[in-house]
Amino acid sequence: MAAPASFENQDEALIAALAKLGDHDAFSELVRRRQSIVRSTLRRYCGDAALADDLAQTAFLSAWRNIKKLKDPRTFAGWLKRIVLNTWLNELKKTKAIDELPAVAAEAASDDQVSRIDLDRALETLSKRARLCVVLAHYDGLSHQAIADRTGIPLGTVKSDVRRGLIELKSRLPDYAEADE
């Protein structure tokens, strides 16, 4: 889907401000710009591409319904990240499956995608809670306290899950562990 000419070179804050006023085309442009990162983030959270795509749609629908609550259009990216995380947390509550996750078949990849797929496969082996904590800590750059605050997981559990998750990832990805030392 190509961007309308009026949005092509516009700042995201301006587009978010227009979407906040109810402009459907502006919101569509925000979705176009952000859909890849939202889907990627959700795939890392859940390890299931189809579920991640469904949850991305849910997150964008929630964003559209709540865009009028966005206080500062310049903070759209962070606001959307919180919606994406909350969408995943709601899915976990709904399924009540915090520690189990079905294995997902790997997708075909080019050579330059292999390391990312290796990491994604290794992440799939972690429990849902540990994966969430590791992704929030290392992909989103959140502190352990911020993770505890946003997810409701006790701080000590977050610390343990991040530590154990990283140890597990390093054992499954020895090339990465060597590069880290």
CATH number for position 91: 1.10.1740.10
- Could you tell me the pTM of the whole model? 0.66
Domain boundary among 61, 96, 131: 96
Summarised one tens digit per residue, pLDDT across range 139-180 is 888 899 999 998 889 999 999 999 998 888 888 776 554 444
Distance CA 156, CA 138 (A): 17
Of residues 35, 34, 175, 48, the one with CA closest to residue 123:
48
Report how many domains make up the chain: 2
Are 48 and 123 within one domain?
no
Are 84 and 114 within one domain?
no
Summarised one tens digit per residue, pLDDT across range 51-80 is 999 999 999 999 999 999 999 999 999 999
Range of the domain at 166: 103-181
Distance CA 144, CA 159 (A): 6
Distance CA 108, CA 170 (A): 24
Residue that the structure tokens 């176009």 belong to: 32
Are 92 and 64 within one domain?
yes
Distance CA 116, CA 110 (A): 11
Distance CA 26, CA 131 (A): 33
